[in-house]
Amino acid sequence: MTSDTLENDRSLLGWWTRATPQARKALIAGGAGWMLDGMDIMLYALALKTIAAEFDFSKQQSGMIMAATLFASAFGGVLFGVIADKIGRVRALMISILLYSVCTAMCATAQSLEMLVFWRLLTGLGMGGEWAAGSVLIAETWSPRDRGKAIGVMQSGWALGYLIAAALAAFILPSWRLLFVVGAVPALAVFWIRRHVPESETWSRASKERIGFLSSLAILLRAPYAKRVIVACLLTTSLMCAYWGLFTWIPAFLASPISDGGAGLTLVNSATWIIPVQIGAFLGYFSFGFLADWFGRRAVFVIFTVSAAILVPIYGFSARHEIVILALGPLIGFFGHGYFSVFGSLLAELFPSSIRATAQGLCYNFGRGVSAASPWLIGAFADRAGLGTALAFLGILFFAGAGIIFLLPNVQGKEFE
């Protein structure tokens, strides 16, 4: 690689200008869908304390509702992975966005724990499906040279969605029902996607190779893919459990009194203090793809996960020190989110086109399904030991993820068939 080529490769805008129009539209569609997905799912986390007060939920019951959403999203991710391999990435993306948008709004009608769980289950199905369809669409339309950057930009949409949710919560709470009604807005994105986003050419070319779900599973259960599926599921499980256990409860941790192991902030202040965390998250998501494409995926991934493993316990045990919490917030956001940008490109490169969305949806959402227990377990632990102590133990799972990635083959930059 010449010095001019290297300089262009490390340009902050070169990756965008050399992309095809199809690739740019795919990134806008997938990124917007993921951003609004993040907004909708975090509305509950931000309203958790208000909802719990109205219905007199315990922390364990509150965690169970988020667990139901995550558990359903695991099924949604697998289901929409199969759908995306069958009917196309774009159509699967549109259906998933419509599903999570409408069902988020329906949460506003809940009058009991059972009704809220029901609507969050349906919301989770759509949320899991959005990533399964959108990430594959982006991975297949961007060149290997810039695939990591594009996936990183897509993932950064989650942080923007969280920031939007935090802003809405600051203005709308304690009216949590109105907050959920606003969650229907993402459905409008479907009209633009339908008119402007073309289908993945890689998927279209593989039409003769398209196979059923059982045949896809049969391929995934034999060499060389069986080991990849198992290790990828372990990787996503360790990091998803750490992530959802941590970021589901951070708003409540900030708002809970010090006597309960929280930081003792007011509800408005806690929502405001989430903003530095999500600014850090945006920068972490966005920069990971660039850093991974420049310096190597594994090295950058390990730096992010090990840093999160060190910082999370410090954050959890700093409940009485507001300055420390404020200072660590952006770092927790940066290192506690950025590594997620590895999954879209890594999983896509591990499997062939005919089963790519199915495999990617399975591996990513297996971890999400298991992680459904994490908010519930952290809530149960917090009822006994306090939220700060419960969050601190999640550092172990970040360390685990740093080691597991070395069990997968290094396929960075693979050309798709």
Question: Are 344 and 297 spatial neighbours (Cβ–Cβ below 8 Å)?
Answer: no
Residue with tokens 């695939």: 147
Count Cα neighbours of 334 within 13 Å in the Cβ-side half-sphere: 15
pLDDT at 178: 92
Assess whether the previous peptide bond of 257 is cis (omega < 30° from 0): no
Which is nearest to 38 in space by CA: 122, 164, 137? Answer: 164
Identify the H or E element spanning 116. helix 113-141
pLDDT at 3: 47
Question: Are 159 and 278 spatial neighbours (Cβ–Cβ below 8 Å)?
Answer: yes
DSSP conformational letter for 90: H
Answer yes or no: is pLDDT of 212 > 70: no
What does the pLDDT average to over 150-162?
Answer: 87
Q: Is 410 left (phi over 0), alpha (psi -120 to 50) or beta?
A: beta
* Minimum mean pLDDT range among 237-246, 280-289, 324-333: 324-333
Question: Are 245 and 391 spatial neighbours (Cβ–Cβ below 8 Å)?
Answer: yes
d(CA 335, CA 8): 27
pLDDT, tens digit, 9 for 90 and up, residues 101-113 = 999 999 999 888 8
The residue ranges of every structural domain in the chain are 20-196+210-407
Across the chain, mean pLDDT equals 82
d(CA 417, CA 321): 54
**72 — phi, psi (to 5°)?**
-65, -35
pLDDT at 397: 92
Report which residue type is found at 381.
F
**Confidence category of residue 2, pLDDT binned at 50, 70, 90:** very low
What does the pLDDT average to over 90-115?
Answer: 91
Question: Are 389 and 317 spatial neighbours (Cβ–Cβ below 8 Å)?
Answer: yes
Question: Are 367 and 236 spatial neighbours (Cβ–Cβ below 8 Å)?
Answer: yes
What does the pLDDT average to over 255-263?
Answer: 62
DSSP conformational letter for 383: H
d(CA 372, CA 68): 7
Topology of domain 20-196+210-407 in CATH is Growth Hormone; Chain: A; (1.20.1250)
**277 — phi, psi (to 5°)?**
-65, -45
Question: Are 146 and 20 spatial neighbours (Cβ–Cβ below 8 Å)?
Answer: no
d(CA 140, CA 147): 9
**Confidence category of residue 122, pLDDT binned at 50, 70, 90:** very high
Tokens of 121: 């289950």
Question: Are 345 and 151 spatial neighbours (Cβ–Cβ below 8 Å)?
Answer: yes
What does the pLDDT average to over 253-265?
Answer: 63
Cβ neighbour number for residue 234 with a 10 Å cutoff? 20
pLDDT at 417: 59
What does the pLDDT average to over 300-314?
Answer: 93
Answer yes or no: is pLDDT of 9 > 60: no
Note the pTM of the prediction, 2 decimals: 0.79
* Minimum mean pLDDT range among 11-25, 36-50, 89-103, 203-217: 203-217
pLDDT, tens digit, 9 for 90 and up, residues 308-361 = 999 988 887 776 677 777 788 899 999 999 998 888 888 888 888 777 888 888
What does the pLDDT average to over 109-126?
Answer: 90
d(CA 247, CA 225): 32
Task: Check residues 180 and 260 and name the one with the higher pLDDT.
Answer: 180
* Minimum mean pLDDT range among 8-22, 104-118, 364-378, 388-402: 8-22
